[in-house]
Every structure is written in C-alpha cells, then in structure tokens.
Amino acid sequence: MRTRLLEADPDLARNLPPDTVRALSPHLVADVLELPAGDWSPDRAEPHAGHLGYLILEGLILRRTEINGARSGELISHGDLIRPWLEEPISFSNFEWRVMEPSRLAVLDRRVGVRLCSRPELSAALLDRLTLRTRSLAIHAATENMRGLEHRLLTLFWHLAERWGRREQDVVVVPIQLTHETLSLLVGARRPSVTTALGSLAERGALRRRADGDWVLQGLPPAGP
C-alpha cells in the first residue's frame, strides 16, 4: 500500500502555500508499513543509507526500556518519527517494541527523502517532530520524579492530552487505549498502586475511563511555573 504523504499528514506542509502543496502532493508518495497489534521486532540494521525512518500515520506503539530490572515506557503515536534501528549502545540495557493499536507507518526511504529534503520547510517539519519527541521524553522523566502517584498520573494524562487529545464540551478526551500495566511503566509505579490511584482520581472526577476505552480529563491542567 502507498499513500500521498502530504495528504496523510497535512501538518508536514503547514509552512508551504496551498498551491505548492497541491503541486508536490502527487510526487510525495510513500510506501506504508502496516503493523498488527502485538510485539514488534524491527530490523536492527539500517535499511539503506539515506533512509529517514518511519512516520506514524495511525495507531499507538509502546517502546519499553529495561536497565538492571528497572523499566520505563515511551508512547509513540501519529505524527512521531522513529528510526528503530538506532538503539543506545549500552550493554546492560534492553529495548522492546509493542504495537498497542494496529498502526500504519509511512516509509521515508531514500526516494521519499530526496523529495522531502528538496523543500527546507518539509525537512524542518521532520526535525520538529524529532525535537518534540525528545522534549516529550524529558517531560516523562520529570513526571516520574514527582511526589504523589495521583499527581504523576494527572500530569501524564494532561501531557498526552496536549499531544493527542481533543476537547469535547467541558472535558478533554485522550483517545488512547492504556492498560494499568502500561501506565505503571509510564509513571514509574506498580500496577496495583496505579489501579488504586486511578480509582481515587475517578472519585474526585478528575480522570475517568469511558466504556470505549478513551480517557476523560476534567478540570484544569497542572499549573505552570
């Protein structure tokens, strides 16, 4: 399967005039890698020189890290750019990928990369994606150091809401399916403790899970500096 990249991810071309986007779109066609839910073992070797990576079009992927028995997780979803063959050269670490929801990835091979890099606006948009993902990881790291599990969970969900949420009347919906086990990875806690904290947040009306699996936030996000 193939897709017109600028139609599948219009935000890439946000700094280009509409006429330019219409002219470029038929020429920026990428192969699509479809991943079913379950464990994913991407090739650890770079496909070829000049391969830019994979742009997430749909779905949800969890990247798990384990170091000396300690675990953490990173959520990756639409708009994120990944290069899964690049792993930190740390002998005592282990990395795993799990597809949480069926996902579609645009393959930014050399052919596509040449066309993308011909327009600095598109190259800059891809760099923005990598930069935002790095900053998101920094926020996750800071969240894990917060006192109080309920506070950590609320901060995590408001961060996810700013990335992928949508407002519905007086609430914010985070349309991501997350189990208590996955949440425990993201906030550095044990699953039973996460279950208890989520129950307390639901009683307060701050955070609840709908029947369809989406999460609903009510109230205000954490106060800034």
The per-residue pLDDT for range 182-209, each reduced to its tens digit, is 999 899 889 999 999 999 999 999 999 9
**Quick one: pLDDT band at residue 224, thresholds 50, 70, 90?**
low
Across the beta sheet with 166-168, the strand order is 166-168, 171-174, 215-217, 207-209
- Predicted pLDDT of residue 45: 79
Asked if residue 223 belongs to a domain, the reply is no
Q: Any idea what the CATH number is for the domain that residue 155 is in?
A: 1.10.10.10
pTM for this structure?
A: 0.87
Asked if residue 47 belongs to a domain, the reply is yes
Asked if residue 67 belongs to a domain, the reply is yes
Scan for tokens 């997430």, then name that residue.
56
Asked if residue 178 belongs to a domain, the reply is yes
Hey, is 163 helix, strand or coil?
helix
Average pLDDT of the chain is 90
Share of the chain above pLDDT 90, in %: 67
Domain's final residue, options 96, 114, 143:
143
Q: Judge if 112 and 188 occupy the same domain.
A: no
The per-residue DSSP string of 96-127 comes to EEEEEEEEEEEEE-HHHHHHHHTSHHHHHHHH
* Token pair for 177: 């399916």
* Count of structural domains within the chain: 2
- Predicted pLDDT of residue 193: 95
- Predicted pLDDT of residue 14: 94
**Quick one: pLDDT band at residue 90, thresholds 50, 70, 90?**
low
What residue numbers bound the domain in which 160 lies?
A: 149-217
Q: Looking at this protein, which amino acid is placed at residue 190?
A: R
**Quick one: pLDDT band at residue 170, thresholds 50, 70, 90?**
confident
Q: Are 157 and 215 in contact (CB under 8 A)?
A: yes
Summarize pLDDT for 108-146 with one digit per residue, the tens: 999 999 999 889 999 999 999 999 888 888 888 888 888
Q: Judge if 61 and 135 occupy the same domain.
A: yes
Domain's final residue, options 94, 121, 143:
143
Q: Judge if 113 and 193 occupy the same domain.
A: no
Q: Are 42 and 97 in contact (CB under 8 A)?
A: yes
Domain's final residue, options 101, 116, 143:
143
User: Which DSSP letter does residue 26 get?
Assistant: G
Q: Judge if 154 and 135 occupy the same domain.
A: no
For residue 91, pLDDT over 70 is answered with: no
Q: Judge if 30 and 106 occupy the same domain.
A: yes
Report, as an integer, the average pLDDT of 61-72: 84
> Lowest mean pLDDT: which of 1-5, 15-19, 138-142?
138-142
Q: Any idea what the CATH number is for the domain that residue 118 is in?
A: 2.60.120.10
Asked if residue 225 belongs to a domain, the reply is no
Q: Judge if 98 and 153 occupy the same domain.
A: no
- Predicted pLDDT of residue 54: 95
